[in-house]
Amino acid sequence: MGNSAHESAAGPVDFVAEQNSEEFQALKKSHRSFVLPVAAGFLLWYFAYVLLAAYAHDFMSIKVWGNINIGLILGLLQFVTTFGITAWYVSYANRKLDPQATVIRQRLEAQIDAANLTKEEV
Amino acid sequence: MSLPSALTAVAPLAKSLADQTKENSWINILIFVGFVAITMVVVFRASRNNNTAADYYAAGRSFSGGQNGTAIAGDYLSAASFLGITGAIAINGYDGFLYSIGFLVAWLVALLLVAELLRNTGKFTMADVLAFRLKQRPVRIAAATTTLVVCFFYLLAQMAGAGGLVSLLLGLDSSNLVGQNIVIAVVGVLMIVYVLIGGMKGTTWVQIIKAFLLIIGAAIMTIIVLAMNGFNLSALMDAAVQTSVNEGGVGEALLNPGAAYGKAPLDFISLALALVLGTAALPHVLMRFYTVPTAKEARKSVVWAIWLIGGFYIFTLVLGYGAGALIGKQAILDAPGGVNAAAPLLAFVIGGPLLLGFISAVAFATILAVVAGLTITAAASFAHDIYSNVIVKGEPKPEMEVKVARRTVVVIGLVAIGGGILANGQNIAFLVALAFAIAASANLPTIIYSLFWKKFTTQGALWSMYGGLAAAIILIAFSPVVSGSEKAMIHGADFAWFPLANPGIISIPLAFFLGWLGTVLDKNAEDPRIQAEMEVRSLTGIGAEKAVDH
């Protein structure tokens, strides 16, 4: 038994050293410092809405404009925040995450190619 | 998601509508046959390069983010979403709308926490990711088990729903069980052919075509309904309230929360939890992320899916109140198909037999596309996880794995037909809710832990997956949906002691807790080198599976 079934993609790469490298730690920090708080935030906002819909019927039924009440507005705001967070994350990933990830990936791929080349020459 | 009712009064409008739809059922059949013919041609064309496992399960990883995002929408917007939510809003007003919010917000979990990391570390199935840095055999068996269980319940709900739909769409009587069962068998056989021949590529194209038709159809109906009310949502809601008052219904209350869950708020919270955490753990959704070439395309897929699905749910809000206004609760419930009839009846009222035929054909296509996606996921999980990695221990003969997958497709198709016939007429709402609850409890904790928690161990994964699975199934078995209530599956028996219809509020936190407990009590630590490899791969994409060249 063990982990033999998935073939390691990159024989020559020392992943533990890579994981501890400053470059990778910076990427990991950029990723987690965005996705974890944003995920916590939208889940809190969603459950706040769910609790209001479940228990605060009178508040949700207050009419704001015509037949449009607070419940409908908060519900549609859930759509708005979902679209907004999506656009925000995409822009963040394109600006901050992708460039960092590409640098590391290209360096590692070059390392793997070099190792394969040496192997063939021998 | 249907909300069956025992109302027996006969409204003349529903009766005349039902008669008229019956007279025009040949148009529905014609349009549906056209859909099948077109998709079959596409599937045959797509099947030419289906030799390797990467081709068969992951369409050669060659779809673009936009194509895959559309296919995800096609996979996700099931008949329950389209017919169920429209009907729920028409009948329960605001509380029907609550469903769609959970279904949409859930996609943020997939976007932020799962999609890209999964694409970078996995190959074909959910188990690839879960077993990456843990002990292969036990974790794969557990992940394949939960995959198969979730797919089975989801599949059963779709197939059983197909029978009910038919009564309305083809003008068969609700009591014509033979006719309904024939249609279930036709759906099953068509699905087997699509998946057997087309593999993931064919399935994806069926889903893309269907998503396109569904969204166009819903958009046309939305524009007509809004135009009839001067493009004023408030006026539309007024009309729905007026219709409700005229037939002695709840009136104003239609606009406020409480019509469906007023007496059972905990039930609603439990459902909300399962919906928002279940989506990103549905195996057939996860598998779609392997059909694109890179993590960046996986991200684009989710973005497309969020816009399409979100837009569609806004349409259903208009369609639901539109059906409430133009047809009325009583007439909908009296029509064959009950709550699911709201959308087709609305199509008939605003667009005549042609629009009804189009919408009915789309509803059929929806079931076909969703069952095809579920079937290929279950077949891939059995062939790749159980056969290749457990039975022959990672050394399958070339092409044997795909052969096993194809045989599995036939078996699953036959099981789905049989199960669909047996479950026909049952309360199917709980099957879908159960699939989401099981996915959220059995899969999500292990997915999150293995991607984000360095110390997570095999024991934690097994406790969480089996514990979550068992908790969800046991709680549902002893809940009011199975026994002890009017709408229960088993009439006349009462062994229910769990008060809620959805187990999520207990089983999901329990599964997260078991994953933590199993890990801290585990005496064995996992290999830190593989953890390092997984983490570096997940964020950088180094060594990720590449697209197949043809």
Which candidate from B101, B299, B394 shows the least CB-CB separation from A5?
Answer: B394
User: Looking at chain A from residue 84 to 113, which residues have their Cβ under 8 Å from any Cβ of chain B?
Assistant: 85-86, 89-90, 93, 97-98, 101, 104-105, 108-109
Q: Enter the ipTM.
A: 0.89
Cβ contact, residue pair B540, A85, below 8 Å:
no
- Per CB-CB distance under 8 Å, the chain A contacts of B109 are 39
Contact between chains at A19 and B532 (C-beta distance less than 8 A): yes
B290–chain A Cβ distance below 8 A for any pair: no
* DSSP secondary structure string for all residues of B106-120: HHHHIIIIIHHHHHH
Chain-wide mean pLDDT for chain A? Answer: 87
Sign of CA dihedral A101, B118, B289, B120: positive
Residue B8's pLDDT is 32
Least confident of B241-255, B290-304, B469-483: B241-255
Contact B256 A57 (CB under 8 A): yes
Residue in chain B closest to A48 (alpha carbons) equals: B269
pLDDT of residue B2: 35
Annotate B63-95 with three-state secondary structure: CCHHHHHHHHHHHHCCHHHHHHHHHHHHHHCHH
Q: Does the pLDDT at position B247 exceed 60?
A: yes
Q: Mean pLDDT in chain B? A: 85
Q: Is the dihedral of CA B277, B279, B282, B285 positive or negative?
A: negative
Residue where the block lists tokens 């569904």: B214
Q: For A78-109, what is each residue's pLDDT tens digit?
A: 999 999 999 999 999 999 999 999 999 999 98
Share of chain B above pLDDT 70, in %: 91
Q: Which residues of B touch A16 (CB under 8 A)?
A: 528-529, 532
pLDDT of residue B411: 93
Poorest-pLDDT segment among B76-80, B100-104, B114-118 = B76-80
pLDDT of residue B298: 93
Asked if A57 and B539 come within 8 Å (Cβ–Cβ), the reply is no
Contacts 24+ apart (CB under 8 A), A17-20: A18/A104, A18/A108, A18/B532, A18/B536, A19/B532, A19/B535, A19/B536
Half-sphere exposure at residue B406, Cβ-oriented, CA atoms within 13 angstroms: 17
B115: burial class by Cβ within 10 Å (0-12, 13-18, 19+)?
A: buried
Q: Note the pLDDT of residue A96.
A: 93
Give every CB contact of residue B84 below 8 A, 6+ residues apart in sequence.
Answer: B1, B2, B99, B339, B340, B429
What pLDDT was estimated at residue A2? 37
Interface test with A, best of B254, B533, B534 (most A CBs within 10 A): B533
**Residue B234: alpha-carbon gap to chain centroid:** 31
Distance CA B100, CA B84 (A): 10
CA distance B48 to chain A (A): 29
Inter-chain touch B233–A90, beta carbons under 8 Å: no
Give me the pLDDT at residue B173, please.
Answer: 65
Mean pLDDT (whole number) for B310-336: 89
CA distance B511 to B442: 7
pLDDT tens digit sequence for B473-498? 999 888 887 777 777 777 777 787 88
> What is the mean predicted confidence (pLDDT) over B107-122?
93
| A105 vs B266, B529, B540: nearest CB | B540
Residue B1's pLDDT band (boundaries 50, 70, 90)? very low
Q: Does B539 touch chain A (CB under 8 A)?
A: yes
Catalogue all structural domains in chain B, each as residue range(s) with its CATH number: 12-422 (1.20.1730.10)
pLDDT at B332 over 90: no
Q: What's the pLDDT score for residue B11?
A: 44
Higher per-residue pLDDT: B309 or B502: B309
**What digits encode the pLDDT tens for the residues B453-473?**
999 999 999 999 999 999 999
Region B242-253: mean pLDDT is 82
Alpha carbons B169 and B334: distance in angstroms, whole number: 15
Q: List the single residue in B with minimal CA-CA distance to A45.
A: B105
**Chunked mean pLDDT (size 10), chain A, 122 residues:** 43 85 94 96 96 90 88 95 96 94 91 78 57
The pLDDT of residue A26:
95
Can you tell me the distance from the alpha carbon of B446 to that of B116, in angstroms, rounded to the nearest whole number? 16
**Tokens found for residue B371:** 């069952």
For the cut 80, the answer to whether the pLDDT of residue B356 exceeds it is yes
Q: Please report the pLDDT score of residue B158 as a whole number.
A: 84
Tell which residue, B413, B330, B382, has the closest CA to residue B53. B382
Residues B283, A40, B122: CA angle, nearest 5 degrees = 30
pLDDT digits 0-9 by tens, B164-213: 676 666 766 666 778 788 888 888 898 898 888 888 888 899 899 999 99
Question: Which tokens in the block code for residue B107?
Answer: 């996609």
Q: Do A6 and B528 touch (CB under 8 A)?
A: no
Task: Judge contact between B516 and B460, C-beta under 8 A.
Answer: yes
Residue B273, pLDDT above cutoff 90: yes
Q: How confident is the model at residue B430 (pLDDT cuts 50, 70, 90)?
A: low
* Nearest-CA distance B397 → chain A (Å): 15
* Residues of A (22-41) whose Cβ lies below 8 Å from B: 24, 27-28, 31-32, 35, 38-39
